A and B are shown apart, each in its own frame.
Chain A
Amino acid sequence: MNGIELRFRHAYEGFDLDVALALPGSGVTAVFGPSGCGKTTLLRLVAGLEAAREGFLRIGDDIWQDGSRMLAPHKRRIGYVFQDANLFPHLTVNQNLLYGTRRLASDERLPTLDPLVDLLGIRALLDRRPSRLSGGERQRVAIARALAVNPRILLMDEPLAALDQDRKKEVLPYLKTLQRELRIPILYVTHSPDEVAQLASHLVVLRGGRLVADGPIQEVLSREDLPLTLGEDACSVFDAVVAGRDPEDHLLRLRIGGQELLVREHPCEDDARIRVRILARDVSLALERQTGTSILNHLSVQVMDVIQDAHPAQALVRLSLEGSPLLARVTHRSLNVLGIRPGMRVWAQVKTMALLG
């Protein structure tokens, strides 16, 4: 798809939402920020549920808003997943799924909803009323209902926020499947760093109605002015390929570009793409490849630049691992002793990393 272009100015509870963005036409774009930053409002503006007094919105080749002229929400080809599912309580699951389908022109309609029903695992629920579903089931039905109208874009407003920890774990794999299988772009609003790290390929950060950062997730996470912390600490994420296994040691071999990483065994298929998160504090630097160490992963990287960290003793070093940014937290003293400067090739030792499945 041709990508998304949006510009909105909108008076919003005490401050103005003022955002201009060009977003990719595929993959998951996470809209991330603290509550009250305007991220849900942004999503509602895209859906047309909120009317901006001025704006521009283009999804692919369709213009949905230009100046003050805007298309009514029911005329936009969107799928919208609400935080609290918002299923119709007077209809069964099946009737909920068919509600939107019936209102489509025949050439917009999916030939059958069967693949969707199976994708979200809701076949057994079709005859039930929403009141007899668990929170996780409700959210899966809501996702299926949103996709049943064959939308151009899927808008998701914190679909996991209303669920407890166990229900989140139940629904998250389905979201990952969507992320892999859907060809339409997904706009995913969340305040959860975990969900961003696991799902997003593109990241938009909002604060007080303004854009703080926007770009591919690797770049945003390693920005020179403010390395964004997803949760506790500065980190980097990579999409690695499963290259094989060392069964006797229960290790999985991952490949990033031409280099290999060893991680603990994890259920996944060979050649699958898997996301890895490495915290900056778990990366140390050495001038030569170390031997006689318990650390397994040694990566050859190039130093891009050095950023001052929050504490004066520490620096964040931006490294290039096969073209992708990797952050390392080290002390200024170490940098001076080792004479590390931008442009040098060094070895990054990674103590531990998280597989995000």
Chain B
Amino acid sequence: MLTSEDWGAIRLTLRLASTTTAILFVVGTPIAWWLSRSRGMLRNAVAAVVAVPLVLPPSVLGFYLLMAMGASGPIGAFTQWIGIGILPFTFPGLVVASVLYSLPFMVQPLQASFEAVGAGPMEAAATLRASPLDRFLTVALPLAAPGIATAGVMTFTHTVGEFGVVLMLGGNIPEVSRVVSVQIYDHVEAFEYGRAHALAGVLLAFSFAVLFLMQRLRLRGVGP
């Protein structure tokens, strides 16, 4: 059913999604924590910037990134200056784009679950001699665990499903930037509906399995 090209696209997609999710855990957690504990204009501005990829057409985001990371863009100038060339049409370029594109899917669930932890347990920990980092690690993270799992799953699946940004920025290079969604598009363009069906079926089954798993996670929560 699936050709070696299809398998290549699946491997690449999984690599992109897991790299993006890992990076977003590191980048998104401090942002989400700060948003959950702050008030005021700056916080609102940051929250809006984080949410932009939710409403912006992926092609627009991809276009701006292409301009910025291209040879004459500011990011492109920087990457050439440090000697790694330019990022468009490379796997690292795809990762950078995915991180921006999926940022709200990491930050928003994290932020909501940090907010749900509330000030109470954190203050209790402070009166029990726990330093700020200590109470984050031993109280906030365990209490936010279900939200953290949700954030990871949302980010991963959302990256798997990304299409427009990849097409704008990564093109369609096998084993470099041809992810599953692009591969399906190619099959359809070539009237190979059978192969499109097979890959689309894989994505559908994957999405269902993930959402099913998330329901179970949500129902378990922090039980007794």
Contacts and interface: CB of A to CB of B under 8 A. Distances in A.
A81 B121 CA distance: 12
B149 interface: no
B125 A99 contact: yes
A54 B3 CA distance: 72
Interface stretch (A82-90, A213-221, A239-247, A302-310): A82-90
A131 B223 CA distance: 9
A49 B130 contact: no
B224 A131 contact: yes
A146 B224 contact: no
B10 to A, nearest CB: 37
13 contacts: A47-B127, A48-B126, A72-B131, A74-B125, A74-B126, A75-B129, A76-B127, A80-B127, A86-B123, A89-B121, A99-B125, A99-B138, A145-B128
A196 B143 CA distance: 36
Contacts of A47: 127
Given A72-B131, A84-B120, A131-B224, 10 more contacts: A47-B127, A49-B127, A73-B126, A74-B125, A74-B130, A82-B123, A89-B143, A90-B222, A149-B128, A149-B129
Interface residues of B, number: 20
Q: Majority SS of interface residues in chain B?
A: helix
Interface string A112-135: 000000000000000001011000
A245 B222 CA distance: 55
Given A89-B222, A90-B222, A103 B129 contact: yes
Given A89-B143, A90-B142, A131-B224, A99 B128 contact: yes
Contacts of B224: 129, 131-132
B124 interface: yes
Most chain A CB inside 10 Å of its own CB: which residue of B127, B130, B135, B143: B127
Contacts of B124: 80, 82, 86-88
A100 interface: yes
Interface of A: 47-49, 72-76, 78-80, 82, 84, 86-90, 99-100, 103-104, 129, 131-132, 145-146, 149
B200 interface: no
Contacts of A87: 124
Most chain B CB inside 10 Å of its own CB: which residue of A72, A82, A90, A100: A90
B134 A82 contact: no
Nearest to B129: A103
A118 B126 CA distance: 26
Contacts of B222: 89-90
A131 B224 CA distance: 7
Given A90-B142, A131-B224, A132-B224, A49 B126 contact: yes
A73 to B, nearest CB: 4
Interface in B136-167: 138-139, 142-143
Contacts of B120: 82, 84, 86
Given A84-B120, A132-B224, A90 B143 contact: yes
Nearest to A131: B224
B135 to A, nearest CB: 8
Given A49-B123, A86-B121, A100 B143 contact: no
Nearest to B143: A90
B111 to A, nearest CB: 20
A76 B123 CA distance: 13
A100 B129 contact: yes
A163 B210 CA distance: 43
A129 B222 CA distance: 11
Nearest to A146: B127
A75 B129 CA distance: 6
Given A86-B120, A88-B139, A129-B224, A103 B126 contact: no
Contacts of B143: 88-90
Most chain A CB inside 10 Å of its own CB: which residue of B129, B132, B142: B129
The 4 closest A-B pairs by CB, nearest first: A100-B128, A80-B127, A103-B129, A86-B124
Contacts of A80: 123-124, 127
A75 B131 CA distance: 8
Contacts of A73: 123, 126-127
Contacts of A146: 127
Nearest to A155: B127
A72 B123 CA distance: 12
Contacts of B126: 48-49, 72-74
B152 to A, nearest CB: 19
B69 to A, nearest CB: 43
A104 B121 contact: no
B128 A103 contact: yes
Nearest to B224: A129
A47 to B, nearest CB: 6
Nearest to A105: B129
A332 B124 CA distance: 54
Interface in B93-137: 120-121, 123-132, 134-135
A244 to B, nearest CB: 45
Contacts of B121: 86, 88-89
B81 to A, nearest CB: 43
Contacts of B125: 74, 88, 99
A3 to B, nearest CB: 22
